[in-house]
Amino acid sequence: MTGPAPARLMAGLALGCQEPLARRYDVALLDLDGVVYVGPDAVPGVPAALAAARSAGMRLGFVTNNAARTPEEVADHLTELQVPAEPTDVITSSQAAATVVAGLLGAGARVLPIGGPGVAAALAAAGLAVVDSADDRPDAVVQGYGREVGWAQLAEAVVAVRNGARHVATNADASIPSPRGPLPGNGAMVSVVRGVTGQEPLVTGKPDPAMHAECVRRTGARSPLVVGDRLDTDIEGARRAGAASLLVFSGVTDPSTLLAAGPRHRPDLLAADCTGLLHAHPPVTAEGAAWRCGGWTVRSVEGGHGLQLAGPDGDVPAADGESDGLDGLRALCVAHWAAHPDDGAPVRVVGTGRAAADLVASWGLAAPGGS
């Protein structure tokens, strides 16, 4: 690292946001699993944070790759969690898949749904003919997440695809967050059908920009902010839709994965969870050959193959008096991404001093033998 990054890099995470996000952006396009809830329960503090964001003038839309439930069921669940929502506030990947299939094959095409009830409901709502078996010679198979999906449904999908049906996946998320840790997602099940048939599915959910674009259309957003926990769906989807993005760490992404991310998967903002909507976000500034955020400084070491983090015992309070403990990570990301503008790469990180070393270790970034 030899100095400030090119001008094209001085955006997003480096710029931060000088005012609370709920005032800067008019609509939050929120992922659900790992962002608003994990399993059946709300992420602690998130219902109150979203209520406060609404009070500040921000509107909410919900954009989920989980295809298992109908928009009505999702809205009811959100309302039970003290996040009031209407079905029209919810965009599911089943709806996206149904729209794509209807456009490709026409109304009345025969489609075999694999997944939860939300898949079949979306297909029927789009004017498609829902069938129960590969023996019905479907024109397409639409595969979405469902907790009860097992061998029998996967077998029907395989037979239908081998007989010529178009294989459409609502999303390719390999895992979903749960209170017990990551569990198999739709992508894991899709890989079974793909592996047996040898046919690549058409994937219609995030990161395809259609879902975010539909939510923008419904809400009339002029300055939307995508809020998600996945780099390959939420963050890439925001980039492809031309929207700003906020990565939260309440779901599946961890700091080491973020640091190694390639350009398509780099968010504009970071927060522990949706409470980050209520605060300003500090910039990351170049200071000679170093990068600084709050009280934390990052320098290149080991001939450019590693990073050194140094800082105080705890973050310097932000301008609004709040500190989320992520200033060091912000500085690390901007420093590493400036050195790798066109590709992702892992990096060795060493913390200088006890506070920095403890922080680096807690993020899973400590280099072997680092201190």
Helices 186-197 and 151-162 cross at an angle (nearest 10°) of: 40
Q: Tokens for 352, please give them.
A: 């200088």
The continuous run of DSSP H or E covering 306 comes out as strand 306-310
- Residue 279 is encoded by which pair of tokens? 């605060």
* Distance separating alpha carbons of residues 86 and 70, to the nearest angstrom: 12
Closest by CA to 58, choosing from 243, 217, 224, is 224
Residues 26, 31, 254, 268: which is the catalytic one?
Answer: 31
Q: What are residue 349's phi and psi, to 5 degrees? A: -125, 135
| Six token digits for residue 219 | 């809400």
Give the C-alpha separation, 194 to 192, whole Å.
Answer: 5
Q: What angle do CA 307, 309, 311 make, to 5 degrees?
A: 165
**Is residue 41 annotated as a catalytic residue, yes or no?**
no
Neighbours of 341 (CB within 10 A): 11
Residue 31 appears among annotated catalytic residues = yes
Distance CA 306, CA 70 (A): 47
Catalytic one of 26, 33, 320, 343: 33
Pair of tokens at residue 48: 């109150």
Catalytic residues: 31, 33
